[in-house]
Structure 1
Amino acid sequence: MSIMSFVGLDMLMGLDTPKLIVPTEFKPTRPDRGWLVMPFGKNPWWWYVASSVPALLVTILIFMDQQISAVIVNRKENKLKKGCGYHLDLFWVGVLMAVCSFLGLPWYVAATVISIAHIDSLKMESESSAPGEQPQFLGVREQRLTGILVFVLTGVSIFLAPVLQYIPMPVLYGVFLYMGVASLSGIQFWERIKLYMMPPKHQPDFSFLRHVPLRRVHLFTLVQIICLAVLWILKSTFLAIIFPIMILGLMVVRKLLDLMFSQHDLAWMDDILPDKDKKKDKKKKKKKKPVAEQPDSDEEPISPAPPVKIPMEPLPLNPPTQNQTSE
């Protein structure tokens, strides 16, 4: 409704605004090629060897982009009941990207902002709540209908090109900005950033504030802000081609955070690395193993104590007298 209102306002006022560029025909972008792109063309043979370097960078970027969106959608705060298929999703993304490469179509992966907006639109909240109390989050209505309709309508939109070309670009930028700002709610990183400008007595009752000191929370948030700023600056320069490598560098930064923060603090502000969880599980399993399953040692085994035998015969009720004893 807001898009239609501002498009009508733009047409009534006759403003010279940049409009959305929509192709009028569905055809290849270059007239000298068809729908099928041959992988081996007239390029020299060494081009195919050299292309492995940017291909590796693109693979890292696609993997991180797809998996980060999937992890955000499947986080425990959303209370999803159905299991997630990270490997299956990534497999089909790879298959579809290979098909798009042969057809010369653009690649696509999971969109983080759109995925979060989709999850927010399917949230279920309690209806009965006290005055002034926020409704309680119950979960997400898990179904596939809305996702199918979104992509079907996206495909149908190619037939609406004569109408879409009247939409001003500032209107679309405003919609994207609203979607981005709306998706920030519920993200712990954004909530921790707002704590910098909030006095302690007005801070919400977050669970991590009850277990982690405020100074440690601010320090952890500062490290994340610095990493985000470095990535942002790097992406805006000529070094943007190594952007995927810098994303992998965040894994090194996360590993170094184990030296600055305790595992207790990281468990509340972030997730503990998987290898640490495995080590803890192994230690617990070793403690729970019975004596017979433990490995042999050089010391002699201690023999078990003999069982205590308790007589089960009933004792006489009347004690014997002196005459009975003498007899």
Structure 2
Amino acid sequence: MALGCFSFLQDCIEKRGEFVGSACGPHGPYVPDVLFWCVILFFSTVVMSAFLKEFKFSNYFPTKVRSIISDFAVFITILTMVLVDYALGIPSPKLKVPNVFKPTRDDRGWFINPLGPNPWWTAVITVVPALLCTILIFMDQQITAVIINRKENKLKKGCGYHLDLLMVGIMLGVCSLMGLPWFVAATVLSITHVNSLKLESECSAPGEQPKFLGIREQRVTGLMIFMLMGSSVFMTSMLKFIPMPVLYGVFLYMGASSLRGIQFFDRITLFGMPAKHQPDFIYLRHVPLRKVHLFTVIQLSCLILLWVIKTSRAAIVFPMMVLALVFIRKLMDCIFTKRELSWLDDLMPESKKKKLEDTEEEEEQSILAEDEAVVQVPLGEYQGIPIINITDEMSKGSFGNTWNAND
């Protein structure tokens, strides 16, 4: 649209025409190159964030500098893209923030009446949808807690998630009285937060990846995050310079980076992939490929169904559909064996499964090697020959005498 209006503008100028209205005028709302610049900003943000996040594995700069660049990859990317956008001066769409700290609507205050203009009996009817929302929020919180508290993360303070659920419940009541959006578990942000707090070994052999040691378990970063979010209402003069394509690029990077290591995403990539090019996933050693694809199709169908319900007018029954997944999982016992489900739907991380199986295979190979090392000589007609322990005789120093005596 912008390029079409710009070419039309040039034709009118060359033919000395006159404009009526401001749509395609010299100072109209359509400016050329904005769409192309937004695409460049979007993909540059994604690529730069991924590059800086993996910078700690590069060979440049000391380890401490590489670690700082990797930890603040998203912040450095946003700051760089904002400066580049400001330097070029192309009017890309910016983040819209209010200039005054007040409620969005002028006809309401900070607190609202829970019933409003509705009659009193509506409070009794709302018990059913409130129960559905409670189920949804509880499952959302617990699913996020299970993902974060996996054994491979080596967390030691897992009980803190109960405190998180308590705070979510309290804030739900506060937000309801103030008419604010509810606080719910942010799965993608939580995974990104945990990944940014990983502790790795500083000393490693040349060419060897640092070993994962655990998570820096503390609540300082979480507290600072929400303090900065609260103070952002006083930084509107700075936030209005952030282009929207940069924010969309950050959201895409955070969503894509959280997919790494998820078995469901790995199984989707197996579709259309020849067997010789498939990665050495542990479940492919024990489950036929057709069963793996069937399990993936069932999961993908349930995900699409949930998304369709959530975006439709029937979104109120979304919690019940989430609860119905429990029964769908139970019906899968009729299609798959327990052994197959243990490999396709187990809480044990993929890396740990593979490590355990490789260890068992090494132990079996070592036992077989020891058995093959035992040489059995058939006695047959040589039963009269005495059995000599060569090791004992050599330690006694009488190997030569024994040999001569038998000779």
* TM-score bin, normalised by smaller chain: 0.7 to 0.9
1:166 has 2:241 as partner: yes
CA drift at 1:184 = 0.8
Task: State the Cα deviation string for residues 135-165 of structure 1 (Å, max 9, x = none).
Answer: 4333222222222222222122111111111
Q: How far apart, in 1, do the equivalents of 2:271 and 2:204 lie?
A: 31
1:257 has 2:343 as partner: no
Of the structure 1 ranges 167-176 and 104-113, higher mean CA displacement relative to structure 2 is found in: 104-113
The answer to which structure, 1 or 2, has the higher relative contact order (CA under 8 A, 6+ apart) is 1
Task: State the Cα deviation string for residues 190-216 of structure 1 (Å, max 9, x = none).
Answer: 122222243333333333333333332
Task: State the Cα deviation string for residues 263-322 of structure 1 (Å, max 9, x = none).
Answer: 2222222248xxxxxxxxxxxxxxxxxxxxxxxxxxxxxxxxxxxxxxxxxxxxxxxxxx
Amino acid in the other structure paired with 1:144? R
Amino acid in the other structure paired with 2:142? Q
Residue in structure 2 matched with residue 241 of structure 1 by the alignment: 316
Name which of 65, 69, 78 aligns with 2:144: 69
After TM superposition, the structure 1 = structure 2 runs for residues 128-277 of structure 1, keeping only pairs within 5 Å, are: 128-129=203-204, 134-271=209-346
Please give the secondary structure, in 1, of the residue aligned with 2:213: strand
Please give the secondary structure, in 1, of the residue aligned with 2:247: helix
Aligned residues: 272
Q: How far apart, in 2, do the equivalents of 1:132 and 1:211 lie?
A: 32
- Indicate conservation of the 8 Å contact 1:125/1:137, yes or no: yes
Amino acid in the other structure paired with 1:209? L
Amino acid in the other structure paired with 2:141? Q
1:94 has 2:169 as partner: yes
After TM superposition, the structure 1 = structure 2 runs for residues 6-45 of structure 1, keeping only pairs within 5 Å, are: 6-45=81-120
Q: How far apart, in 1, do the equivalents of 2:204 and 2:335 lie?
A: 42
Please give the secondary structure, in 2, of the residue aligned with 1:28: coil
Q: How far apart, in 2, do the equivalents of 1:79 and 1:55 lie?
A: 36
Q: How far apart, in 1, do the equivalents of 2:271 and 2:201 lie?
A: 31
Q: How far apart, in 1, do the equivalents of 2:279 and 2:156 lie?
A: 28
Name which of 30, 47, 53 aligns with 2:128: 53
Q: Percent identity?
A: 62
Please give the secondary structure, in 2, of the residue aligned with 1:139: strand
Structure 2: give runs of 5+ residues left out of the alignment. Answer: 1-75, 348-407
- Indicate conservation of the 8 Å contact 1:124/1:138, yes or no: yes
Name which of 97, 106, 113 aligns with 2:188: 113
Q: How far apart, in 2, do the equivalents of 1:109 and 1:191 lie?
A: 27
Please give the secondary structure, in 2, of the residue aligned with 1:7: helix
Q: How far apart, in 2, do the equivalents of 1:101 and 1:6 lie?
A: 37
| Cα RMSD after superposing both structures | 2.4
Amino acid in the other structure paired with 1:177? L
1:5 has 2:93 as partner: no
- Indicate conservation of the 8 Å contact 1:28/1:104, yes or no: no
Q: How far apart, in 1, do the equivalents of 2:202 and 2:335 lie?
A: 44
CA drift at 1:166 = 1.8
- Indicate conservation of the 8 Å contact 1:74/1:84, yes or no: no
Of the structure 1 ranges 57-66 and 180-189, higher mean CA displacement relative to structure 2 is found in: 57-66
- TM-aligned CA distance change 1:7 to 1:83, over 3 Å: closer
Q: How far apart, in 2, do the equivalents of 1:198 and 1:161 lie?
A: 49
CA drift at 1:4 = 2.3
CA drift at 1:30 = 2.7
Structure 1: give runs of 5+ residues left out of the alignment. Answer: 273-327
- Indicate conservation of the 8 Å contact 1:208/1:268, yes or no: yes
- TM-aligned CA distance change 1:202 to 1:139, over 3 Å: farther
Please give the secondary structure, in 2, of the residue aligned with 1:196: coil
CA drift at 1:177 = 0.4
Amino acid in the other structure paired with 1:5? T
- TM-aligned CA distance change 1:104 to 1:72, over 3 Å: same
1:125 has 2:208 as partner: no
CA drift at 1:233 = 2.7
CA drift at 1:172 = 0.6
- TM-aligned CA distance change 1:224 to 1:133, over 3 Å: farther
Please give the secondary structure, in 2, of the residue aligned with 1:238: coil
* TM-score, length of structure 2 as denominator length: 0.61
CA drift at 1:40 = 3.8
Q: How far apart, in 2, do the equivalents of 1:250 and 1:86 lie?
A: 24
Amino acid in the other structure paired with 1:173? Y
Amino acid in the other structure paired with 2:309? L
